[in-house]
């Protein structure tokens, strides 16, 4: 009788996938700063600080390791830091002196993550819904993760597998492929797409408000928050559209459509 032993001596450190999203909190879960009262004293010489809006989480993967971070920002609070000789910064760092990452949770998965995307509820949505994480694994396995406040960690909301005898026709006789599944999401959070087996497009339809999923009504009724979830999935065979050698794809913003990169050309 023979046995196989395996031990991880050193965890992977090279980041392969990264994304940002409101996983542990929603866009409305922050307290806006009250602007200072305008008076006629010397305090009016201080430059006005713009409000720092909600800051999303950072999600990274390194091989089979998944990490979720909270971004802590440090605002400029003293007159010395405002009137220093350092050049003024603009953009997202305007009014901030620094930022740090706080680890929320870390997981060692049972497979290497091929690609990752964040399923968002869409920009401008004032609800308390949170974003979810979509992970893909070889050869055509998909997991959707959401944050659970009771566990203070991630849990699986749905899994999708297009392998096995039922899906052998998708491979068209091939046993291996040059790359793993590639996932992209709609900017408005209506669906996600996963390109598997080179020319098979899996569409993950997101659940809309009031879809009646288990737990939604309880969460909204108690003032809690729910995450974006997948309601159903279906497959589009790109060979039926006379497409070959698809390299990449992206969802068109504002339209329920996507663009495919065939060679060096995008085809809508």
Per-residue tokens: 182: 């590639």
What does the pLDDT read at residue 173? Answer: 86
**Separation of CA 79 from chain center:** 38
Task: Please give the pLDDT value at position 73.
Answer: 81
At residue 75's C-alpha, the angle toward residues 92 and 51, to 5°, is: 60
**Contact present, 203 and 134 (Cβ < 8 Å):** no
Are 142 and 132 contacting, i.e. CB atoms less than 8 angstroms apart? no
Taking the chain (268 residues) in consecutive chunks of 10 residues, what is each chunk's mean pLDDT?
73 90 85 48 50 83 94 66 50 66 93 94 68 94 94 94 91 86 91 92 84 47 70 91 87 70 58
**CA 193, CA 224: separation in Å to the nearest integer?**
28
Candidates 198, 213, 178; CA nearest to 245 is: 198
């Amino acid at each position: 009788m023979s046995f196989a032993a395996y031990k991880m001596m050193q965890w992977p450190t090279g980041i392969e996938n990264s994304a940002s999203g409101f996983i542990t909190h929603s866009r409305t879960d922050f307290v806006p700063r009250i602007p200072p009262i305008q008076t006629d004293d010397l305090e009016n010489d201080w430059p006005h600080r713009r409000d720092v809006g909600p800051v999303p989480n950072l999600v990274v993967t390194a091989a089979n390791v998944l990490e979720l971070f909270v971004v802590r920002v440090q605002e400029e609070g003293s007159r010395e830091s405002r009137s220093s000789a350092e050049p003024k910064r603009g953009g997202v760092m305007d009014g901030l002196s620094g930022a740090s990452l706080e680890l929320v949770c870390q997981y060692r998965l049972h497979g290497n993550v091929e690609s990752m995307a964040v399923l968002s509820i869409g920009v401008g949505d004032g609800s308390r819904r949170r974003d979810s994480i979509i992970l893909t694994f070889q050869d055509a396995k998909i997991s959707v993760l959401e944050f659970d406040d009771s566990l203070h960690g991630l849990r699986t909301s749905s899994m999708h597998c297009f392998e096995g005898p039922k899906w052998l026709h998708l491979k068209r006789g091939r046993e291996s492929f040059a790359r793993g599944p590639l996932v992209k999401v709609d900017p408005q959070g209506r669906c996600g797409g996963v390109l598997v087996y080179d020319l098979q497009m899996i569409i993950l339809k997101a659940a809309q408000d009031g879809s009646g999923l288990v737990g939604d009504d309880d969460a909204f009724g108690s003032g809690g928050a729910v995450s974006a979830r997948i309601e159903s999935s279906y497959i589009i065979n790109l060979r039926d559209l006379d497409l070959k050698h698809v390299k990449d794809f992206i969802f068109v913003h504002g339209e329920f459509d996507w663009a495919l990169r065939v060679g060096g050309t995008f085809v809508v």
